[in-house]
Structure formats: structure tokens, C-alpha cells
Amino acid sequence: MIETHEEQAQKPSSGEFEREPVPKSVLLGFKSFIGMYAGEHCAGTELMIGPLFVAAGVSAFDVVVGLLVGNALAVVSWLLLCAPIATRVRLTLYYQLEKICGRHLVTLYNLANGVMFCFLAGAMITVSATVLGVWFNFPMPELNDLYPNSIGWVLAVVAVGGLIAIVAAYGYQVVAKFANIAAPWMVLVFLVFGLIGLKQFIDVTNSNITSVGDVWKLAKIHIWKGGEPLPGQVKFTFWHVTFFAWFCNMAMHVGMSDLSVFRFAKKSWYAVASGAGMYVGHFMAWLSASILYAYQLHLDPTDTNVLPGPLAYRAAGLTGLICVIIAGWTTANPTIYRAGLAFQAIVPKWSRFTVTLITGAIATIAGMFPAIAMKLLGFVALYGMLLMPMGAVVFVDFWLIKRFGLQSNYAESSKKHFNLAAGLTWFITLGACWWLVWTGRIEIYFVSLPGWFFAAVLYIVLSFLYQKKLKAN
């Protein structure tokens, strides 16, 4: 899901290219990006999102067509917004932002990003910890639980989270290599989840399947039935699914985090490779996981718990459990590492080891609270919304600002540490979006679309006032 390909592409920059354009000699081919995106978007959290769609009462048409359209829009966002800038300036997002916003504002951005990464890693730890519940049979969180509900659960999260944090601190690179090895296997296990789940539905409903039309009928009547969501869940329509699929990686494409990835691409059209991740992870994997949960509900409508461990075990036995552990572990590992990198930019004197351990501890504590995983749809939308305004700032600064007679990369040229126009754009946009959501005028899943245009216009207006004022001074 919200994933880790940035980390892979950042590896070559760990000692180089962090504050300079990537040279032509190290540019990567198209295939590199296909593998990177396909593997990275099959994460442990996919096993939460698919079931949560079912809990949200999606219908078959809404989920299938919504995902097709929403994922296409996500690919287009990478292709038209992020990659063209990345392949022209070939800088990391952080350095690009520093030139525009100044070091102090980038520090704030890092803090926000790091905190969100911690929560995200917490959700991944939650997913992996559900595996232990299969073996040790302790009470696990329910769909509407916000707080840890048993000592067994807390101990399971501490064990899994602690292990992930220690490994991330000691041997991030080893786990990253292991993740590469596991990726093709994991993608196919996700596919197997769907195939087995489908067969179980056919058997339990005594359906006679002789054509694709019969499968669609089964899907409409028994799997994604539509109707009311489960208690405590928001009803998902076609538009919810479309916007969720589009914006769940908003921080990466519209928010421009993947400038750090595509600065290594020879051509900007390589961004179509993101489609591999979208249609493998955010289509096939989500649908597969949702079939498993729909089957659980079909067998016992009162069993509404979204627990990836038991779901995977019922479908694929031990292989399913291994898949859940690896999916959670290999994606939590770089997420914790990335959060650590973001925090280390704030406290550079602390060692990478210490920062990663502390970050892992925060993520582990977050993982104890099932609220993040069980409300993952809303959390992911919030994550995108939080970083979206800075993506608009980067876009406007690169393409538009000079057309208004204004200076691009203003912090760099004026030697300011805090570009007030960019900072205010971020805060005011977030405030406006939050107000719209809080007052019920628009749902969080949709607010980032008008929010982006608002931020873009606001940045131009504020830059006009700010740059004029400074020039006058």
C-alpha cells in the first residue's frame, strides 16, 4: 500500500545524490520500476484494506470498476504530476522542498512525515501480530476496537514490533534484500488467496459456474453484496472506492514523495510502471483479501473481525500465515527506517541505530492500538491529505510561478530558512480541509481534490504578497 519503493530508490543516494542531481550514468531502466512497484504495493496492509471495503458495504460493480478507474487515475498522477518534474530536476523531494521552502519548514515536513510513517508501520505490525493469535489463541481486536483488548494482544505486538524494530536498526539492508526475494512469491500467494476464496464461495453457495457471467453473478449476490455497511463503518460507493484507490498513495504521486524515486528514471513515461503496483497490489490483492473476509461473513455474519492472520490461515494454511508475517515485516521494516531517516534530519546528532530503535518503539506502541489498522481507510486518506499541499507547492513552483513574474526556489535564492508563503499554504490548506471534513461538508476521502487546487492558488497568491513584501524591504 503506502509503501516503500522510495526507500529502494533512495539507497543509491544514501551517500550520494542527496544534494545534487542524479547523474546520467546511474539512471535506471523501465524494468527496475516495474519490479519495484509490483513488489512494494503488495504489503501487509492490503490484507486489511480489502476486508474493510466489504465491511463498508461495497457492491461488486463499485469495487471492481472503482478500483480500475481509481488506480488508473493514480498512475496518471504519477505520470503527469510527479515524474515530469522528477526527470527534469533529478533531486530528492527533501532537497527540492528545501530549495523552495527553506530548511526549517522541511524539518516540520519531516516531522509530519515521520509521525505518519510511525503510525503506518504500527498498522503493519498490527497485521503481523494477528498471526500469533492463530497459534496462541488470545483475544484479538474486533472491528470497532480502538484500544488493546487483552494482555495477549499487547505481548504479541511487543514481540513482533520489538523484533521488527531491532532488525530494522541492525540490518535494514538484509531485510530489504529478503523483501526482494519474497516479493514474487508473496504476490502469487495473494492471488492464491483469491482463487481459493472464490472456490470456497462456489462450494458454499452451490453455484454452478460455467461462464464469466456466472462468476460476476456470484460476486454481486454473495461476495460484494452492497447494501448497508457493518456497524461503525462508513458506506463506500463507487466514488469512495475510486477516490480511495486514487488517493491512498497521494503522498507519493500528488504529494511528490516519489520525486526521490523517479529522479533515477531515464524517461518520465517510466511512471506507467506504477500501474504494475496498482493493479497487482491495489486491485488483485485487495479483491483477494476482500473475498476471504466476505467468505468469513458468509459463514458467520456475526464474525466481523478483520484479522489477516486467521483469514489467511483459513485459505492457505501455514503458507498464508508466513505470507502475512512476511508482508507485514518486509513493509514495516523500511517504513520504520524511513521514519527514522525523517526524524534523524531533525536530530542529526543521534545515531541511525538509536533513532530507528526509538521509531520502532513508537510504531510498536501505535500497533497495540487497533484503531489505526481498523480505521485504515480513513487513516490513509488523512495521510494523503496531510502531505498533499506540499505537492501542490512543488508543482506550482516548478511549472507556474515564473509565469506570474515570481521567483521559484525562493528559499534558496533569498537564503530564507522558512518560506512563509509555502508554510502558510500548507497550514491554511490543512485547516480548510479539516474544517470541511469536521463540519461534514465533505468526506475525508474526497477533500484532497479541491484541497490541491486550493493550495495551488493560495501558494501563488501568498508568494505574490510575500515576495513583493520582501523585495520592498
Residue 180 engages another protein in binding (rule: CB under 8 A):
yes
According to the binding rule CB under 8 A, does residue 221 interact with another protein?
no
> Which C-beta is closer to another protein: that of 115 or that of 187?
187
184 near another protein, rule: CB under 8 A = yes
CB of 185 to another protein, least distance (A): 5
User: Of 131 and 430, which CB lies nearer to another protein in the complex structure?
Assistant: 131
260 to each of 138, 179, 343, how far by Cα in Å?
Answer: 42, 20, 18
Q: Are 64 and 287 in contact (CB under 8 A)?
A: yes
192 interacts with another protein by CB under 8 A? yes
Report residue 75 CA to chain centroid gap.
Answer: 14
Q: Which member of 76, 191, 234, 470 binds another protein (CB under 8 A)?
A: 191
Choosing from 81, 189, 332, 436, the residue that interacts with another protein (CB under 8 A) is 189
Closest to another protein by CB, 219 or 363:
219
31 binds another protein (CB under 8 A): no
Number of residues that bind another protein (CB under 8 A): 20
Q: Is 217 in the site for another protein (CB under 8 A)?
A: no
11 near another protein, judged by CB under 8 A: no
Q: Provide, rounded to whole angstroms, the least separation between the CB of residue 278 and another protein.
A: 21
Distances (CA, A) of 155 to 119, 138, 159, 316, 366: 18, 10, 6, 26, 13
Residue from the set 80, 146, 221, 318 that interacts with another protein by CB under 8 A = 318
Helices (H) and strands (E) in the chain, counts: 20, 0
CB-side neighbour CA atoms (13 Å) of 180: 13
Q: How near is the Cβ of 106 to another protein at its closest, in Å? A: 31
**Beta carbon of residue 429, minimum distance to another protein (angstroms, whole number):** 41
Nearer to another protein, 72 or 209 (CB): 209
For residue 204, state whether it binds another protein (rule: CB under 8 A).
no
Among 26, 317, 417, 435, binds another protein (CB under 8 A): 317
Reduced 3-state DSSP string for 191-224: HHHHHHHHHHHHHHHCCCCCCHHHHHHHHHHHHC
Residue 215 CB, shortest distance to another protein, in Å, is: 10
Picking from 317, 369, 331, 373, the residue whose alpha carbon sits closest to that of residue 134 is 317
Instruction: Give the residue ranges of DSSP H helices in 263-351.
Output: 274-279, 286-299, 308-344
In the complex, minimum distance from the CB of residue 319 to another protein, in angstroms, rounded to a whole number: 4
All three cell numbers of 83: 515524474
In whole angstroms, how far apart are CA 253 and each of 93, 271, 360, 406?
11, 10, 26, 25
Q: Which is nearer to another protein, 186 or 381 (CB)?
A: 186
Q: Which residues of 126-136 are buried (b: 16+ CB within 10 A; e: fewer)?
A: bbbbbbbbbee
Q: How far is CA 205 from the centre of its chain?
A: 35
* Side chain identity, residue 298: H
- Residue 103 Cβ, how far from another protein at the closest point, in Å? 35
196 scored as a contact of another protein (CB under 8 A): yes
Round to the nearest angstrom and report the end-to-end CA distance of the chain.
47
Tell me the window of 48-56, 84-92, 156-164, 174-182 that interacts with another protein (CB under 8 A): 174-182
Instruction: Note whether 199 binds another protein by CB under 8 A.
Output: yes
Which CB atom, from 183 or from 358, has the smaller least distance to another protein?
A: 183
How many angstroms separate the CA atoms of 267 and 258, rounded? Answer: 14
Tell which one of 322, 346, 361, 365 touches another protein (CB under 8 A): 322
CB atoms within 10 A of CB 174: 11
299 counts as binding another protein under rule CB under 8 A: no
Residue 216 found at the interface with another protein (CB under 8 A): no
Is residue 264 within 8 Å of residue 10, measured between CB atoms?
Answer: no
411 and 419 Cβ atoms separated by less than 8 Å? yes
- Verify binding: residue 409, another protein, rule CB under 8 A: no
Residue 21 near another protein by CB under 8 A? no
Tell me which stretch binds another protein (CB under 8 A): 71-79, 143-151, 317-325, 354-362.
Answer: 317-325
The footprint of another protein (CB under 8 A) covers: 177, 180-182, 184-185, 188-189, 191-192, 195-196, 198-199, 202, 316-319, 322
